[in-house]
Amino acid sequence: MDREVYQKFNQSIYREQLSNGLKVQLLPMEGYHKTYAILTADFGSIDNHFIPYHQKEAITVPDGVAHFLEHKMFEKKDHDAFDLFGKLGADSNAFTSFTQTSYLFSTTSNLHENLDVLLDFVQDPYFTSETVKKEQGIIGQEIQMYEDDPSWRLYLGILGNLYPKDPMRIDIAGTVESISHITPEILMDSYRTFYQPTNMNLFLVGRLDPEETMSWIKQNQEQKIFAPAETPQRLFSLNDPTAHDVIPFRSLTMDIVRPKVMVGLRGTKQFDDGKERLHYKLAIDLLLDVLFDDTSDNYLRLYNNETLDDTFSYNFEMQRGFHFAYFSSDTDQMERFADEVIDILESADQQIEAARTRFEGIKKAELGRLIGLLDSPEAIANRYAGDLFAGASLMDEIATLETITIDDLYQVAKEFITPQGISVYQVVPQHQ
Amino acid sequence: MDREVYQKFNQSIYREQLSNGLKVQLLPMEGYHKTYAILTADFGSIDNHFIPYHQKEAITVPDGVAHFLEHKMFEKKDHDAFDLFGKLGADSNAFTSFTQTSYLFSTTSNLHENLDVLLDFVQDPYFTSETVKKEQGIIGQEIQMYEDDPSWRLYLGILGNLYPKDPMRIDIAGTVESISHITPEILMDSYRTFYQPTNMNLFLVGRLDPEETMSWIKQNQEQKIFAPAETPQRLFSLNDPTAHDVIPFRSLTMDIVRPKVMVGLRGTKQFDDGKERLHYKLAIDLLLDVLFDDTSDNYLRLYNNETLDDTFSYNFEMQRGFHFAYFSSDTDQMERFADEVIDILESADQQIEAARTRFEGIKKAELGRLIGLLDSPEAIANRYAGDLFAGASLMDEIATLETITIDDLYQVAKEFITPQGISVYQVVPQHQ
Question: Range with the lowest mean pLDDT among A314-323, B91-100, B142-151?
Answer: B142-151
Per-residue pLDDT, averaged over A253-274, amounts to 94
CA B273 and chain centroid, separation = 19
Percent of chain A scored above 90 by pLDDT? 92
Residue B432 has pLDDT above 60, yes or no: no
Q: What is the DSSP letter of B89?
A: T
CATH superfamily of B249-429: Metalloenzyme, LuxS/M16 peptidase-like (3.30.830.10)
User: Does B176 contact A at CB distance below 8 Å?
Assistant: no
In this prediction, residue A87 carries a pLDDT of: 87
Rg (CA), chain A: 23
Q: Do domains B2-234 and B249-429 have the same CATH topology?
A: yes
Supply the DSSP string of B265-278, one letter for each residue.
EE-----SSHHHHH
Residue B19 has pLDDT above 90, yes or no: yes
Confidence of residue B430 (pLDDT cuts 50, 70, 90): confident
Smallest CA-to-CA distance from A359 within A415, A301, A279, A296 is with A296
Residue A311, SS3 per DSSP? coil
Percent of chain B scored above 90 by pLDDT? 92
Nearest to A34 among B31, B107, B372 (CB): B372
Residue A295 has pLDDT above 90, yes or no: no
> Cα–Cα distance between B406 and B122 in angstroms, integer?
45
Residue B325 has pLDDT above 90, yes or no: yes
Residue A368 with chain B: CB contacts under 8 Å:
89-90, 107-109
Q: pLDDT tens-digit profile of A368-419?
A: 999 999 999 999 999 998 889 999 999 999 999 999 999 999 999 999 999 9
Confidence of residue B255 (pLDDT cuts 50, 70, 90): confident
Residue A362 has pLDDT above 60, yes or no: yes
Q: pLDDT tens-digit profile of B107-145?
A: 999 999 999 999 999 999 999 999 999 999 999 988 988
Residue B256 has pLDDT above 90, yes or no: no
For chain B, positions 242-301, list CB contacts with chain A under 8 A. Answer: 255-258, 293-295
In this prediction, residue A200 carries a pLDDT of: 97
User: Does A372 contact B at CB distance below 8 Å?
Assistant: yes
Per-residue pLDDT, averaged over B269-280, amounts to 95
Nearest to B365 among A89, A256, A369 (CB): A89
Distance between terminal CA atoms of chain B?
Answer: 63
> Cα–Cα distance between A163 and A13 in angstroms, integer?
37
Residue A432 has pLDDT above 60, yes or no: no
Per-residue pLDDT, averaged over A213-223, amounts to 98
Contact B257, A145 (CB under 8 A): yes
Residue B31 CB burial class (10 angstroms; 0-12, 13-18, ≥19):
middle
Per-residue pLDDT, averaged over A201-206, amounts to 97
Q: pLDDT tens-digit profile of A174-197?
A: 999 999 999 999 999 999 999 999
**Whole-number mean pLDDT of chain A?**
95
Per-residue pLDDT, averaged over A145-154, amounts to 91
Smallest CA-to-CA distance from A108 within B15, B373, B388, B383 is with B373
Q: Which fold has domain A2-234?
A: Cytochrome Bc1 Complex; Chain A, domain 1 (3.30.830)
A70 catalytic residue (yes or no): yes
State how far residue B421 is from chain A, nearest Cα, in angstroms: 31
Interface probe, candidates B6, B30, B33, chain A, greatest A C-beta count within 10 A: B33
Amino acid at B202: L
Q: Where are the domains of chain A?
A: 2-234, 249-429
Percent of chain A scored above 70 by pLDDT? 100
Of A4, A70, A130, A366, catalytic? A70
In this prediction, residue B16 carries a pLDDT of: 97
Rg (CA), chain B: 23
Nearest to A82 among B144, B258, B294 (CB): B294
Per-residue pLDDT, averaged over B156-180, amounts to 97
Contact B128, B179 (CB under 8 A): no
